Amino acid sequence: MKVLVIGGGGREHALCWKIRQSPLVTELHCAPGNAGIAAVAQCVSIKPDAVGALVEWARGKAVDLTVVGPELPLTLGLADAFHDAGLRVVGPRKGAAKIEGSKAFGKDVMQAAGIPTAEARVFDDASEAERHVRTLGRPCVVKADGLAAGKGVFPCLNRGEAMAAVAAIMREKEFGDAGARVVIEDYLEGEEVSFIALTDGETIVPLASSQDHKRVNDGDQGYNTGGMGAYSPAPVLDAEMHEKVMARVMRPAVKELARRGEPFRGFLYAGLMIAHGEPHVLEFNARLGDPETQPLMFRLRSDIVPALVQAAEGTLRDTAFEWDPRPSVCVVMTAKGYPGEYPKGMAITGLDEVVRLPDTYVFHAATGTSGGAIVTSGGRILGVTALGFDFANAIERAYQAVDLIRFESSHYRHDIGKRALRR
């Protein structure tokens, strides 16, 4: 079987790493890939949003299955184009991907399906949004409506912070067209957790639970990012909570999208806030999380390829994944300055030393090559991932590997997984 993975980050490296292990796979390609992915797949120099070029390449190569990693090509209709070309693809069509592409649409789906979520209002005029903020006497969250690479969400504890968030999104246009509208919703307090499932539009196969760390600095301080680390499983999501999420969130969401004529085929991700023993949805994503995919794929014992084929074909019945019972922790190493301005092209050393560590792997997120050396090419550089016999051991192993890796102006959090230890 010939498989194509679309994307070039840590999530796609983890997918390629896992897919490569399948005996069903004879060829594995990744567009565009990165320096780490090149070790397990053949990289193709096509950007993820070049929909026409990707369809043409996949058809010419007679690709049997395509797996879409990032959200942007999905919201541009990549899955639609592949379907129209008669190509199997894992990823929702444009109409269903809108559940992530527009936070206002996502809220509408939640409200129609009776999914527990924060009360919210949508504004496409900055002055109206600011007038609403002035009436609020409580904390809120201000979100850019469109895609902002995980950075367009501003938790605001007071009116001043909320006014500044509206200005940044709508007046200063920090996120471009993604900020043409804002969603202003109530601030929920609790513990965040990621719930990801593979679905064919009817059957839902949940993955193991995981927990992301969004803020750039220790103690959940600083700017929101695309993710500074993750671990799996998330102790807050026990068996009872798992069933609540399936009954109150995942099944209603999939059913509502199908009712609208937009059946969802692919990975559906619910970002949850667990408060007072109840799950509330912060937002939906139309793809696997990053960096959650890294510890998830590291724990997954099953061959993922048959399930991916079934999801693409709409035959995902009687499927379940087997998981390594050991926990996994991923620590993201970034360039100093991320998520703001940061340098690129810095040589990375120490990767060869990490290879010798047990139950440890470095997933590349933004790397390239220059003069025979692996160099940085973005903000989030590496996802250093380890398994351990318990959380303390997994954390120790991950940071042991981090200590071996060096590049100029590196940055990482020192407290990934600490919440799991407290539980």
pLDDT surpassing 90 at residue 4: yes
Last residue of one domain, picked from the residues 313, 338, 357? 313
Pairing of strands 65-68, 89-90: parallel
Residue after which a domain boundary falls, among 186, 206, 221: 186
Q: Are residues 291 and 394 in the same domain?
A: no
Residue 322 has pLDDT above 80, yes or no: yes
Comparing C-alpha atoms, which of 148, 321, 291 is closest to residue 228?
291
pLDDT band per the 50, 70, 90 thresholds, residue 148: confident
Confidence (pLDDT) at 266 = 98
Backbone angles phi, psi at 302, to 5 degrees: -70, 155
Assigned domain for 320 exists: no
Q: Which residue range is the domain that position 164 belongs to? A: 119-186
410: tokens are 């590196």
Residue type, 148: A
Identify whether residues 71 and 131 lie together within a single domain: no
Cis peptide before 116 (omega within 30 of 0): no
Predicted model pTM: 0.95
pLDDT over 90 (residue 319): no
Main-chain dihedrals φ then ψ at residue 220, nearest 5 degrees: 55, 45
Say which CATH number the domain at 409 has. 3.90.600.10
Regarding whether 58 and 7 lie in a shared domain, the answer is: yes
Q: Are residues 46 and 19 in the same domain?
A: yes
Q: Which residues of 127-136 are buried (b: 16+ CB within 10 A; e: fewer)?
A: eebbebbeee
Whether the Cβ atoms of residue 213 and residue 330 lie closer than 8 Å to each other: no
210 and 275 belong to one structural domain: yes
Same domain? For 339 and 271 the reply is no
What pLDDT, on a 0 to 100 scale, did the predictor assign at position 150? 72
In a domain, 106, yes or no: no
Which residues are CB-neighbours of 245 under 8 A, at least 6 positions away? Answer: 195, 237, 270, 272, 279
- The whole-number pLDDT of residue 64 equals 98
Average pLDDT over residues 253-267: 97
Checking if the pLDDT of 423 tops 80, the result is no
CB 278 within 8 A of CB 193: no
By mean pLDDT, which of 146-160, 261-275, 276-290 is the weakest?
Answer: 146-160
Return the HEC string of 207-240. CCCEEECCEEEHHHEEEECCCCEEEECCCCCCHH
Domains identified in the chain, total number: 4
According to DSSP, the β-strands at 191-199 and 204-206 are: antiparallel
pLDDT at 247: 98
From the list 308, 301, 346, the residue with the least C-alpha distance to 324 is: 301
Q: Would the pLDDT of 137 be above 90? A: no
Cβ atoms within 10 Å, residue 403: 12
Q: Each residue of 175-223: pLDDT tens digit?
A: 999 999 999 999 999 999 999 999 999 999 999 999 999 999 999 999 8
Using a pLDDT cut of 90, give the percent of the chain over it: 95
Same-domain pairing of 141 and 60: no
Tell me, yes or no, whether 200 and 307 share the same domain.
Answer: yes
Q: How would you classify residue 4: left for phi > 0, otherwise alpha for psi between -120 and 50, otherwise beta?
A: beta
Assigned domain for 24 exists: yes
pLDDT of 307 > 90? The answer is yes
101 lies in some domain: no
215 assigned to some structural domain: yes
Q: Are residues 245 and 358 in the same domain?
A: no
Average pLDDT value for residue range 355-376: 96
Residue 318: its pLDDT value, please?
Answer: 81
Q: Kindly report the CATH number assigned to the domain that includes residue 181.
A: 3.30.1490.20
pLDDT value of position 124 = 95
Contact 388, 397 (CB under 8 A): yes
65 and 148, same domain (yes or no): no
Within 10 Å of residue 313's Cβ, how many Cβ atoms? 12
Of 262, 140, 130, nearest in space to 199 by CA: 262
Residue 105 lies in a domain: no
Q: What is the pLDDT of residue 63?
A: 98
d(C-alpha 417, C-alpha 414), whole Å: 9
Do both 231 and 297 map to the same domain?
yes
Q: Is 102 a member of any domain?
A: no
Q: Is residue 103 part of a domain?
A: no
Residue type for position 364:
H
Domain of 275: which CATH number? 3.30.470.20
> Looking at the structure, do residues 197 and 179 belong to the same domain, yes or no?
no
- What spatial distance separates the first Cα and last Cα of the chain, rounded to whole Å? 43
**Position 19 pLDDT exceeds 90:** yes
Long-range contacts of 106-112 (CB under 8 A, 24+ apart): 106/283, 106/284, 107/183, 107/185, 109/253, 109/256, 109/257, 109/260, 109/284, 110/253, 110/281, 110/284, 112/256
CATH of residue 17's domain is 3.40.50.20
Whole-number mean pLDDT of the chain? 96
Q: What is the number of other CB atoms lying within 10 angstroms of the CB of residue 285?
A: 22
**Which residue carries 């300055």 as its tokens?**
337
Please compute the mean of the pLDDT values over residues 9-26 and round it to a whole number.
98
